[in-house]
Each structure stands twice: as C-alpha cells, then as structure tokens.
Structure 1
C-alpha cells in the first residue's frame, strides 16, 4: 500500500499549514525530513530539511501509531508556517520519497472507513461538519460523527441478528438444545426494530432540511414589497426593486442563518395573470417553488387578494404598512420585520424539533428497504416453522440493509451469534 500525503489545512497563505502523511512508510517521512522519529502523540519542534540538508522550515512534528490515528494507519503530521512556498517545498520533498504519493480527494477518510475507524454514516457526518454553516447543522453533524446513528442502527442490527440466529438454530440444529418455538421472541425482536426504523423515518425529512437548509418563499401580488423585504432581510440589494409591476421575472434566492437554522429565502415573481410571455414563465416558476417550499410568507395589500390561497401553516402579513398604517410589515422601514422573523423562526423550529438522526436519501432507502423486509418476515411467522427458511431470508435481507447503511456487511457474524448463543458448536 502506498503512503499518502496532502495538505490537510486550507490552501493559501495562513498562519499555519498542516501536512498529513498516512501509510506504512509514514515514519520514513520523519527520518527524511525531521532527522528522526519523535515519541508517539508528543509534539516535537524539529527543523525540516531538503535532500541536500537545507532547512525548509521549523515545524511541530506529531506521530500517531497504527490503530490510534484518524486513518488507523501510521500517521505523521507536519505543522508548518503557512507560507505557500514552504508548503510546496515540503510537498515536493515528500513526493520524491520512494513509495509516497499525493492523496486523492477524500482518501484519508476512505482509509479510516476501510480500517474500521469510522462507519459510512460518520464519514457523511464529517463532510457535513466541514460544510456546516449554522449552529443547528454543526450540532447535527457532531451527533452523527459521535456515532449516535451508528449506535441506534447497531442496536437494531443486534436485535435482527438475534432473530435470524434463533430462526437458523431452529432450522439447522433442531436436535440440539434450542427452543422449539422461537416465533414469540423473534416477533418481539422484529417488531421492536420495525417500530424504531419507522420512528426514524418519520423524522428524516426534517433532519434533511436541517442539513441542507429550509426554503421560505415570499409570495404575493406585484408591487407588494416582496423584493424590498428580501433586500432588508439580506442586508443588501439582492433583488431589483421598482414601481413597475413584473420587475421580478425569476426566483431570486438568498441564503442566511436564521436563529441557527440555514434558510434560503425565495423572492418570487408577482402572482398575476399577464400577457407577457417571459413574466408568465416567471409567475409559473414562482408558484412551483412556493408550493415546494417548507414555508410561505404571503404579503397582501388592501386592494388585491392573495394569488395563492394560504395554507394552514403559512404566514400572512399586510404589506407596506409604512404607507397604509396598521399592523403588518414594511421592507422599506423595517416595521414589523422582527415579528415576521420571529414567526418564521417559530414555524421552522417546530419542524426542526421533529428531526431524527438519519438525514440523507441513502439513509431513507436503506431504512425503508429494511423495514419492508422485516414486515414480510413478521407476516411469514404466522405460517409457522415450515416457512422459517423464507422468514430467515427476509430477516437476512433486512440485516444486509442495516449493514449497508453503516457501510459494512459481514455475514459470518450470524454464525458467530449462533454458536455463542446456543450450545451447538460441538
């Protein structure tokens, strides 16, 4: 296996640059550049040298032994001054060593997965943590990275493994000291897992929205102040505003942090019937995006009824109260905007609290397939021991889906559970 290396910190000039090395010859990097190998997990200040002995930089060197590093392999980190020239010089020096090569994108994390340091849900969580923009995204990613979903799936996996072990023992070892009728315990185990999976699936949409961001559409008739409100909320001129109806022709998006939640505000074209072909397309797009949004904020005026009937969870505000007075909102003066923001946050928080741990379409597919197989297995239990082989196969398929969710499948563990649970290994 090659020893890989790469810049682990952000590229460009900085106060500090970290180069990570991982693989069977990682310690050779210490010998070649630092003149020796520091103690494991103890930062050592060393002068790094090129092949001719010239000084490249003075850096902190850290060594991690196999099984106790991020990748599970021997790892060395060089903490350098963040000069572009220094970083490039050290990378060239490493690239000249025999058996070393530049890491491919994500290869350190892939090795962590292959070496059992992380499962697939944690790999996804690491990517989410790096991409997180808001507090809710950070917390969600950390929960997954800590293994919260892995532990939950692990409990379902253990219960499913126990169920298939009982069925297999009844099928293959009928003459041994095993229960004659295992169906009650199997049913209880599978029912518990199915209920857990379905509860997780019920919170997946909300979790996915926390991860990717909620969408809030601002809709209403032309000249209701939608673009002005968007600009006020964004704190910049994100949308063109004018007194001419139909100025907004396409959906304008502004992403922002709203109470710790990632929110994309959508400014849609004014909803009206029009003979202008381009504006008509904009109105249709606005309707479609509004219908797909997580929340709609309707701006209404005194003389024009809403172009879309508000739903039960939608928010409705009178527009341009700086001109007409009363309660409502004005994007020009900011009147009523704090109340609007609070109302939007409250609606979205209600959705966010329903979030589970699973947050991706891959999770949904694996869990849905697993639950489907378990439902089939529970149904087959009613037919008795004659169909235990079919029942066992359905449970095995469910087990595979759970294993696939974590990114590892090991059918030999089924035999291990059988022989550890029953006295059949003679």
Structure 2
C-alpha cells in the first residue's frame, strides 16, 4: 500500500504527566536522521536498546540521558522507520525533547491516531485491529481487555476475511460463467453459488443475532436498580459501588433523578443506575423522576428489582409489573422476613428472589454471584466466535446480508453477480480490504481462462 504521508511524525507514546519513564516515538523516513541529530551518534543495532545523551539540535544544550531503540522499516509497527526514545518522565524533559525533535528537518507532531493509521495504510493492520488498539487503551476491566486483545490478534478480521474469500470465489465463478460462455465451465456454477450464498447468509445472520454483546462489553452493560421508595435501592447501589454514590434517607422520594455508577463486576463493565422509587408521585419533580426511572428500566440491559422485606408478602405492583426475564429480583431487609421464609426460595412474578440485607451483609455474597452470572451471560454469550464490537461493523454486515438475500432472488445471473459485488464491498469496508484484483486471481486460477 502507499504510505499515508512522507512526513516524519513524533509524539509521546506513554501517558502524559509526571512519571519515572516516558516514551517518545518517531515514524517516517527522517526518523534515523532526527535521532542522529539529537544524539550525535548513528542508530544502534535494530531492536537493541542503547544508552544515549540527548541534545538540542540548534544550541547543543543537554536535554536528558536515556535509551533509544531503532526499528527500520518495514519490520516496525507502522511499516516505516521507527525510533523510540526512553527518557525521564518529567514534563520539562518530554516537552523539551518534543520541541527538539520537531526542530529537525521534516519532523512534525503526530495527529491523533496517526501511528495506527500509517500502520493500516502500510498493510500492518486492518481496520478492526486498529480499532482494537483504541479499545485496549480504553479497557477498564479484564473482559474488555480480553476482547480487545482477541480482536487485535485478528480474530474478527479472520472471520470476515474468510467470508469475503467465499464471496469472491462465488462471484468469480459467476463472472467467469457470464463473461466466458464458450469456455468449458461447469454447468452447476449457478446452483453451487446459490448454495454457498445461503450457507454464508445463515452464518452471517447468526453472527448478527448476538444481542449486541460486543458493543455492550465495550461500553458497559446498562443495569437499572428499580423498586418502591425506601426499599433500599440507594443503599444497594452504594454497597455495590463501595462509596456514597447515592443519597440514602428514610424520607420517601429522596432520589429524584437517575444516579449512574460505573462498576467492574467480576471483570465485566457495568453502568449501574439508581432510580427514583416507583409510586404515584404527586410532586411534579418526583413525577418526572419516576418517569425517568420507568424509561431507564425499559432501555436497560438488566434490571435489579428491589422489594422491601419489611412489607413482605405485600409487593409493590408498580415494580412487579416491570419484572421479566431480564430482572434479578432482590428482597432487601431480609432480617425482617418471617423465619420460615429463610428456609424457602421466595419468588416474585415467577422469578427466584435473592434475600439480602444491605445493612447487615446477609446474602450479599450470593446476590453478587447471581448478578455477576447474569452479566457474564449477557456479555460473553455462547460459543467461541469473536463478537461484533462496533456499530460500524454491524451496519456493514447488515448491508452485506441484505445484498446476499437479494442475490438469491435475482432473476438473472448478471443481477445476482452485481448483488454479490455489493456484498463483497460491504464486507470489505469492515477490515478496509476492497480489491477487485482478487476476482481476477480466482478466475484465472480456477478456470484457466485463455488456456
């Protein structure tokens, strides 16, 4: 592929701010010259660290004493010549080194994401792997880290490239049948292509029907805590957050708005929302809070319905009406339940209830295990296939599936081939691989046209 830019770029590759060590990275044809200019020495052996002193190229002032590494292209992250400077992590040091490097010929500060973009343009990464780098940097939980590493390793790209290869093969066979009718080609090309398309369409639809687990794992599973006033919703939220995130009061209607808390629950990202108590609110502000609580419950991926054990067996009907298969039922203030209830498993609307006491800690371990299991089921799903992680992927796959479905209804091979071309382009948009030359390769390899 063509290089994205001829400029040499430089940027701080480690986190900004004070630290023991900082890493500056250069990429481009002028990386080696810039290194020699600020050190006064030639590049060290490739991929070996060497100690160097860094000087300003204009006045010769000493800037720092650190390590350098040299990665000549194309065997580097970007595919270009790359230099890394490992220096002391003070702001003054990094700022002065960046200024000194930018004073070298043809060196400029890198744009956001430009190193990864150059790696893509130089064939070192596909688009899904480049996106995975951003996900890995942003990962806050172990599950997010695992998903990003898997995608960065190419799991998603391999799946889509395999589908694209099958599509190109079917399309190439159809194109050959259409363009070279006088050649001795198999008569079953049409039906063979249709069988392959049907199989691919089934696999693609199964991949799309994943409950958006990949996107939810990136962004966090939305969990709404719902229930009547004074059932202990805010206390439970604070207990899960391990901090005072929500106001706790014996006064009904204290929570007027949705309070969000980001949690790492067993390695999975969760956005926990404490909501207003469900009842017929007469106060306009409380009524708006209740409306927002209902809206959040309707859009949440999972609900925690909290009931008041002090009122058992009476149940709040507003909350009961929201209990469904996406609900973890909790009876708080379990120490207020009759003794015989502790020996049985109470149910609410057909769902088993976790008996807990936020105040004493009774049942909290079992509740956390049940909640984590529910979260894991929704985020991990079934099987080992890599998950869609972005709306961009899903949109392109849906376009591809639509084209495949339409191709099966096409009344002529020419129309069928055009739909397959559109499907191939849609699939190629995900990884950034769209190349019509692949069609010619398959045609000539499989059918030996012009023999």
- TM-score interval, normalised by the smaller of the two chains: over 0.9
2:396 paired with 1:366: yes
Q: Which residue of 1 aligns with 2:208?
A: 201
Task: For residues 270-314 of structure 1, give each alpha carbon's deviation from its aligned partner in whole angstroms, at most 9, with x where no partner exists.
Answer: 000011000000000001101111111111122442423211341
User: What are the superposed Cα offsets for residues 7-40 of structure 1, whole Å, 9 maximum, x if unpaired?
Assistant: 0000111111000000111111121012211111
- Measure, in 1, the Cα distance between the counterparts of 2:334 and 2:188: 73
User: Which residue matches 1:307?
Assistant: 318
> Is 1:221–1:306's contact at 8 Å kept on the other side of the alignment?
no
Give the CA deviation at 1:75.
0.6
* Number of aligned positions between the proteins: 421
Deviation at 1:423, TM superposition (A): 1.3
Moved more, 345-354 or 301-310: 301-310
Matches within 5 A, 1:25-44: 25-34=30-39, 35-44=41-50
The residue number in structure 2 matching 1:60 is 67
Partner of 2:348: none
Q: Write the distance in 2 (CA, Å) between the matches of 1:126 and 1:278.
A: 44
2:347 is aligned to none
Structure 1 unmatched runs, 5+:
none
Q: Tell me what 1:404 maps to.
A: 429
Task: Output the TM-score relative to the length of structure 2.
Answer: 0.90
Match of 1:319 in 2: 332
Range with greater deviation from structure 2 (352-361 or 310-319):
352-361
Corresponding residue for residue 76 of structure 1: 83
Contact 1:204-1:360 within 8 A present in 2 as well:
no
RMSD: 1.5
The alpha carbon displacement at 1:85 in A equals: 1.3
Identify the residue that residue 101 of structure 2 maps to in structure 1. Answer: 94
Match of 1:350 among 369, 377, 382: 377
Match of residue 113 from structure 1? 120
Q: Distance in 2 between matches of 1:75 and 1:315?
A: 52
2 CA distance for matches of 1:151 and 1:202? Answer: 19
Aligned-pair CA distance for 1:210: 1.5
* Cα distance in 2, alignment partners of residues 46 and 195 from structure 1: 59
Offset, 1:331: 2.0
Counterpart Cα distance in 2 of 1:299 and 1:181: 62
Structure 1 CA distance for aligned equivalents of residues 265 and 300 of structure 2: 16
CA contact (8 A) 1:126 1:141 kept: yes
User: Where does residue 231 of structure 1 map in the other structure?
Assistant: 238
Deviation string 1:85-133 (CA, Å, 9 cap, x unpaired) is 1111111111111111000111111111111111111111111111111
Under a length normalisation based on structure 1, what TM-score does the superposition of the two structures give?
0.95
CA distance in 1, matches of 2:326, 2:23: 49
Q: Which runs of 5+ in 2 are unaligned?
A: 1-5, 343-354
Q: Secondary structure at the match of 2:200?
A: helix
Query: Superposition pairs for residues 132-281 of structure 1, below 5 Å?
Result: 132-203=139-210, 205-281=212-288
Of the structure 1 ranges 347-356 and 290-299, higher mean CA displacement relative to structure 2 is found in: 347-356
2:190–2:413 Cα contact (<8 Å) kept: no
Aligned residue among 31, 47, 52 for 1:46: 52
String of CA shifts for 1:139-164, please: whole Å, max 9, x gaps: 11111000001000011001000000
Q: Is the 8 A contact 1:204 1:358 kept in 2?
A: no
Compute the displacement of 1:3 (Å): 0.6
